[in-house]
Structure 1
C-alpha cells in the first residue's frame, strides 16, 4: 500500500476521499505550514506527497525521499517545487488549474475596490469613533468606472479579471507572454496595474524600481499572484515618494513575513494570502488533487500533470 503524506488538512470532501482511498494516509494537520523537519521525516518513505504553496519542496527534500513518485500540489502555482529535481528523478508533479480562477479574480476586485475607495481607512475611522457625519471631502478615492486597468499575465485569472473590469466600465489593456502590449507601455498607460503572471526566473522582481517608476503618478498596484514578482523594498520606496496612489497585496515576497515598511502606509491594503479562501474553491481544489492522485494510483497520466 502506497504511503500518502498530506502536508496540511484540506476540504472535508478531500479528507473523506483520501480516507477511502487504498493508501496509507499520513495527514499532518496544522493551522500553519508544516515545518521542514516534520515534512522531511514523513517524506523519507512516502510514495505520494500532497503539498501546499507554503511547503518548500527543494532538491534536498526530494533527494531525501527515495520512494517519492508523485507531488500533487494543492494549488495552481508550483513555484515552491524544484521541478528540475523532480524531473531528474522521474517524479510526476501536478497542480489544480481552473479551480482557483473565479475566487482569485474576485479577490483582485476586492483589493482594487478597497484601495480605490479607501475602505480600510474608512473602517478604521469609524471603529475609532471619528465618524462625525457625512462630509463632502471625506476619504475621497478614485473611480473604477472609466479607469484603465493594465493586466500583467493574461491566462485564466487575467481573463477573468478582464471580464469583471468590463462590467465595471473599465478600459482593459494587457501584457501576456506571447500577446498584448509591451509591459513598459502598459505601465505608462494604466491607472491600475494588476499582476496575474506565474512566478519564475523571468518574473521574479518583474516589478522592480525601474518598472514601478514607469507607472503613472498616483496609479494603483494590485498583486494576487505571487509575492516575489514585486521587489518589496523598491515598492516601499515608491510609496515613500508618493509615486503610487495605493497598493493592494494578498501575497508577499517573503511569506509569511511582510516587509515592515508596507504596514506604515494607510493606502496599502494587505490580506493574508486569502485569494482562494472560499468553501467552493477549496472543494474544487481538493477534487482536482484527488483526480490527480486517483489517476496516478490507477497507472494513468494525471489530468493536471505539469512535470
Structure 2
C-alpha cells in the first residue's frame, strides 16, 4: 500500500508506516503524477483535492489533518466512492490560544470589552465558552446555529458593533449562507472607532482589497490577520497596514497538528477495518522544562497582567509577525519569491506547545484567579 502525505504533517511515518509505504511531498506542489499510484492521500489545507489531482489515480481514501474541508471537492470524492475524512476540532485550542496571544501582544484586555465572534463552530465555539467562563460579554453571529445552541446569537451588524471581533468561519461559496467576502466595504465601515478585527478562519471571508482600501483611510482600526486572500501570494501593502500578521499558523501548534494526524490515522484504520495500533500517548512524551513563574510584584495581582506574562513565556506571537515581515522585505528587495517564503515559514514553523503543557507556580493569587487561568488552559500549582 502506498500513502502519499503532505511533508508538513508530523509523525505521519510513526502512525502510517505500519500500514504501508509513506511518501512525503510538499502539499502545495502536489500533482496528479505524485498520487497516481497512491492508495491513500493525507493532506492539509494547502492541497486542492479535486478531479485535476485524482482522476485516473488509485486513491480510495483522502484524509485532511485540518478542521476545514473547503479544499476538498466533496461532491467529486463522493461520486467516485472515495472515502474522505477531516479532523474537526483538532487545532481549535491552538487557534483560540493564538487569539489570546494576539490580544496580549496588542495589550488589549478582553475582560471589560464587548467581544464579537463570527462563526461559532469548533474554534469559535471553544473561544465563546472560554470567554463566557471568564465573565466576558460575548455576542455571536452564526446563521447555522440556533439560540438553543448558543443563547448569545445575534445579527452580524450587532457583532460588528463590538470592541473586538474574532472571525472563525469556514469558506463557503454556495448555499443559503455563503461566507465568501462576508466582510467587505460596508461591514468594515461599520466597525467602531478603535475596533479590533482578528481573522483566523479563511482569508477570503474578508475582502482583502476592501480591507486595504479601508485601512488606508481608517488608521484607528487594529487588524490581526493570520489568513489572507490569496495565499501564499498575499498583498504586501495589506501586510504593512495590519498590526499583526502571520502566515496561516494560528492552528499550527505542535499539539494541534499531532491531534490532526492521530484523528486521520484513526479514520484510515476504520476505513481499512483494522484496530489502531498507535496513539499520541505512546508516541509523544510529556514536555520537559515546563515550569512557569511570574513576577507577582510586577503584575500587582492584575489577572490580565499575569496572563500576559504567562502567554509570552509560552508563545512569542511577535516573532511570527517579525518573520513574515522579514520575508516581505526580502521579497521586495528581490532576494526571494514571497510565496515561497510564506510556505517556508509554515514548513519550518517552530514547535509551539499549547498552554496545558505548562505548570504555573503562583503564591499570592486567589483561587478564583487560578481558576480563571485554568480556563486559559494553564495548569496552576
Which TM-score band applies after superposition, normalised by the shorter structure? 0.7 to 0.9
How far off its partner does 1:9 sit?
A: 4.0
Specify which of 87, 102, 111 is matched with residue 93 of structure 2: 102
Aligned length: 264
Displaced runs of 4 or more, over 6 A: none
Residue 211 (str. 1) matches residue 187 (str. 2): yes
8 A Cα contact 2:65 2:257, kept in partner: no
8 A Cα contact 1:99 1:281, kept in partner: yes
Query: What is the rounded CA distance, in whole Å, between the counterparts of 1:34 and 1:235 in structure 2?
Result: 26
Q: Secondary structure at the match of 1:20?
A: coil
| Other-structure match for 2:5 | 6
Alignment of 1:153-232 (within 5 A): 153-166=119-132, 169-176=135-142, 177-179=144-146, 180-187=153-160, 189-201=161-173, 202-232=178-208
Deviations 1:128-176 (A, max 9, x none): xxxxxxxxxxxxxx54331111101112211221233345553101011
8 A Cα contact 1:71 1:93, kept in partner: yes
Query: What is the rounded CA distance, in whole Å, between the counterparts of 2:59 and 2:39 in structure 1?
Result: 4
Query: What is the rounded CA distance, in whole Å, between the counterparts of 1:169 and 1:114 in structure 2?
Result: 21
Gaps of 5+ in 1: 118-141, 301-307
| Other-structure match for 2:264 | 289
TM-score, normalised by the number of residues in structure 1: 0.80
Q: Secondary structure at the match of 2:123?
A: helix
8 A Cα contact 1:220 1:244, kept in partner: no
Query: What is the rounded CA distance, in whole Å, between the counterparts of 1:244 and 1:3 in structure 2?
Result: 53
Residue 47 (str. 1) matches residue 39 (str. 2): yes
8 A Cα contact 1:147 1:171, kept in partner: yes
| Other-structure match for 1:144 | 110
8 A Cα contact 2:197 2:224, kept in partner: yes
Q: Compared with structure 1, are the counterparts of its residues 248 and 207 closer, same or farther at alpha carbon in structure 2 (3 Å cutoff)? A: same
8 A Cα contact 2:92 2:126, kept in partner: yes
| Other-structure match for 2:247 | 272
